Amino acid sequence: MGPFAGGRLPAAHPLIDGRTAGSPLVLAARRQPVPHTPVWFMRQAGRSLPEYRALRAGTAMLESCFTTDLVVEITLQPVRRYGVDAAIFFSDIVVPLKAIGVDLDIVQGVGPVVKEPFRSPADLGRLRDLTSDDVLPVLAAVTELTKELGGTPLIGFAGAPFTLASYLVEGGPSRDHAHTKALMYGAPDVWHALLEKLAGIAGEFLRQQVLAGASAVQLFDSWVGALPARDYREYVQPHSAKVLAAVADLDVPRIHFGVGTGELLVDMRDAGADVVGVDFRVPLGEAARRVGNEVALQGNLDPAALFAGPEAVEARVREVLSDAEDLSGHIFNLGHGVLPSTDPDVLHRVVDLVHEITLR
Amino acid sequence: MGPFAGGRLPAAHPLIDGRTAGSPLVLAARRQPVPHTPVWFMRQAGRSLPEYRALRAGTAMLESCFTTDLVVEITLQPVRRYGVDAAIFFSDIVVPLKAIGVDLDIVQGVGPVVKEPFRSPADLGRLRDLTSDDVLPVLAAVTELTKELGGTPLIGFAGAPFTLASYLVEGGPSRDHAHTKALMYGAPDVWHALLEKLAGIAGEFLRQQVLAGASAVQLFDSWVGALPARDYREYVQPHSAKVLAAVADLDVPRIHFGVGTGELLVDMRDAGADVVGVDFRVPLGEAARRVGNEVALQGNLDPAALFAGPEAVEARVREVLSDAEDLSGHIFNLGHGVLPSTDPDVLHRVVDLVHEITLR
């Protein structure tokens, strides 16, 4: 990335009007000098916060995701409490699918459940293109958040085609992705047509979020670590690349993350990431050896380590920062989402530690 | 490994009396020329076989594991049906823990559930050493199987200390291993004491199986892929090494496998494996580049690919065999256990394909 071209961003966009272009998160993503290492947490909005549970009480998950005021408030809660360097709007990766009419719900303790799984060519007809009209309450939240957040960048996000396809094909969360892989290996034409459609939906959703004020985006391919690299390149990478290309002309930092993707880091970089998210299994120094210095890295404290007591937590925060010492750009994060039973005070302490230790 | 010393094996052991020393499985594990590539499947005994479901009807899982006749029959079923090159006795990795009195059960659809999870130093007192008296029905099954199987080697097995500890500490299966890692990172002295005990139990169990007639062993560290390599080396490897060392003087091939362990293959080899099991995420040629030619490799057809239709299955079998072409020793297997809904006819066809394609 060169200096922000931003020709297509509105003049009032926070990356253009001076609010977030100099923020630690955007600087680190652009591999420029930072006052301190920026830190945020995947799934920081919702889950472990008591003020979130109080606010959500009585409202179903998906309903919350389409209720502007709730999205705004839940997104702001961790920013206020922890002083993180970025907000990520409260949502779920199946929201754009729900928005175009796929019959699905998020079931407590299970995850997304799709009423009629997608397994035949005819099912492709059940997907249509997404337009901004489909996600107006979400975009209204992004606009509102951009005002409230001031100099703190808002990260937009979407689920990547493989992970969305896995939910659609399995009908819900899966350990083995057997139906998904059966379709992928057994009917590659149908597979590619499905992922092409999902890439269009995810790309348009990301683009609308950026136009509404997001200063960065993260593409989550949560489950793609279930594939070997050569299958990733053949069946997934072109579609993820299409999603990331959908915001390329907006010159906004693009983060790309999946769980257990040590074998895929180079190929996920090549899909068009400016920042590669690394899970906790690969130390950041090793990840940098794999992907080189042309991208920044995000990660990678093990969220399970947050339960090990203050001394162990501090030791492991220092370990991550030490691993990151020679990176050209580092965004501190967990190596996976916040676990629901995490103590918010521990997360707060991690933010303070990262800021204290890396203050320049 | 040199030629079988076997000084400590009974003269009637199938590795000594000529029955299995020349079997394709043992030859491949010892990186010697084979008539064809040997093939077996993790979890081939039980699960997807209708004759297994009929036999097990009305008997709880753990009760079956301690009933000699059932273990023998269930173990033989896939050998008869598929013509695989090895049997692995029907059991579960928590069997030795049950045998020494840990209050646990295997719950249908969940997995092992430990009544009171292990989380404090006091809990260490709930583990004692295992002796052959604790597992007599299992050892009787091994002895009986060794007679029934003739030239087909029986693979003995045990769960590795990390995976056993994960069940004990979490109280059951876990996605994130949060309690386990909290103990490991937060109370390393307790952790090491726990794994030391588990290593003693697993090592003795393996040794007893070999003395009773097993011609190879597999140490399953199912969940250790949840750790980065440096933590594996610090918190796990010494204990897994102790288990594998417990049968070193018996000169029996030792296979070591875990899911998602691409980052750990070298360290798992160094724990004392003669054969490193590789999951489906890393092609065998790449795995060989990591571990070198001093060990054989086992793997690694994706069990989910078995649902993709006959043409795709054949293509992927050929891909695995092509990946394995330059290995010094290859045992064909899945890259994870057989999924319960797998069609037995597909597994049968895979065995035939591997034999046909690799016949020398």
In this structure, are strands B111-114 and B104-107 parallel, antiparallel, or unpaired?
Answer: antiparallel
Give which of A300, A305, A267, A268 is closest to A286, Cα–Cα: A300
Contact B37, B330 (CB under 8 A): yes
Average of per-residue pLDDT values in chain B? 96
CB pair distance less than 8 Å for B282 and A262: no
Give catalytic status of residue A235 as yes or no.
no
pLDDT tens figures, A222-263 = 999 999 999 999 999 999 999 999 999 999 999 999 999 999
B8 lies in a domain? no
For tokens 């998602």, the residue is B260
B3 lies in a domain? no
Give which of B13, B28, B12, B36 is closest to B357, Cα–Cα: B36
Report DSSP state, residue A260: T
- Tell whether the model's pLDDT for residue A20 goes beyond 90: yes
pLDDT tens figures, A285-343 = 999 999 999 999 999 999 999 999 999 999 999 999 999 999 999 999 999 999 999 99
Burial class (CB in 10 A: 0-12, 13-18, 19+), A6: middle
Give catalytic status of residue B47 as yes or no.
yes
A351 lies in a domain? yes
CB pair distance less than 8 Å for A180 and B304: yes
The domain that contains A238 carries what CATH number? 3.20.20.210
Selected residue of B185, B263, B316 to mutate for chain A interface (largest A Cβ count, 10 A): B185
Q: Does A233 reach chain B within 8 Å, measured CB to CB?
A: no
B118 lies in a domain? yes
Q: CA-CA distance, A118 to A165, in Å (whole number)?
A: 8
Q: CA-CA distance, A269 to B74, in Å (whole number)?
A: 47
The pTM for the full model equals: 0.96
Q: How far is CA B183 from CA A354, B102, B191, in A?
A: 24, 19, 6
pLDDT tens figures, B111-153 = 999 999 998 999 999 999 999 999 999 999 999 999 999 999 9
Q: CA-CA distance, A74 to A295, in Å (whole number)?
A: 31
User: What are the backbone dihedrals phi and psi of residue A318, each rounded to the nearest 5 degrees, phi first?
Assistant: -65, -35
B150 lies in a domain? yes
Number of domains making up chain A: 1
Burial class (CB in 10 A: 0-12, 13-18, 19+), B58: exposed
Q: Does A185 reach chain B within 8 Å, measured CB to CB?
A: yes
Please state the rounded mean pLDDT for residues A264-275: 98
Give which of A42, A63, A64 is closest to A52, Cα–Cα: A64
- Give the minimum alpha-carbon distance from B5 to chain A in angstroms, rounded to a whole number: 39
Average of per-residue pLDDT values in chain A? 96
Q: Which residues does B155 contact at the CB level (< 8 Å), separation at least 6?
A: B25, B40, B86, B87, B88, B89, B214, B215, B216, B217, B218, B255
Q: Does A191 reach chain B within 8 Å, measured CB to CB?
A: no
Q: Which positions in chain B touch A186 (Cβ < 8 Å)? A: 307-309, 311-312
Report DSSP state, residue A327: -
- Give the minimum alpha-carbon distance from B225 to chain A in angstroms, rounded to a whole number: 8
Give which of B161, B154, B121, B114 is closest to B138, Cα–Cα: B154
Give the pLDDT score at A119.
87
All residue ranges of chain B with pLDDT < 70 are 1-7
Q: Does B177 reach chain A within 8 Å, measured CB to CB?
A: yes
Q: How far is CA A44 from CA A39, A87, A216, A342, in A?
A: 11, 8, 16, 10
Give the pLDDT score at A7.
59
User: What are the backbone dihedrals phi and psi of residue A311, each rounded to the nearest 5 degrees, phi first?
Assistant: -65, -45
| ipTM of the modeled complex | 0.94
Give the pLDDT score at B7.
58
Structural domain span for residue B225: 24-358
Q: CA-CA distance, B117 to B259, in Å (whole number)?
A: 23
A347 lies in a domain? yes
Structure tokens at A93: 């990766």
Q: How far is CA B84 from CA A278, B78, B279, in A?
A: 40, 7, 19
B177 lies in a domain? yes
Structure tokens at A236: 């997934």
- Tell whether the model's pLDDT for residue A6 goes beyond 70: no
pLDDT tens figures, A27-81 = 999 999 999 999 999 999 988 899 999 999 999 999 999 999 999 999 999 999 9
Q: CA-CA distance, A241 to A243, in Å (whole number)?
A: 5
Q: What DSSP element (H or E) covers B277?
A: strand B275-277
Q: How far is CA A141 from CA A50, A61, A98, A137, A244, in A?
A: 22, 16, 17, 6, 22
Q: CA-CA distance, A302 to A283, in Å (whole number)?
A: 11
A-chain residue closest to B306, CA distance:
A182
pLDDT tens figures, A114-146 = 999 998 999 999 999 999 999 999 999 999 999
Give catalytic status of residue B56 as yes or no.
yes
A4 lies in a domain? no
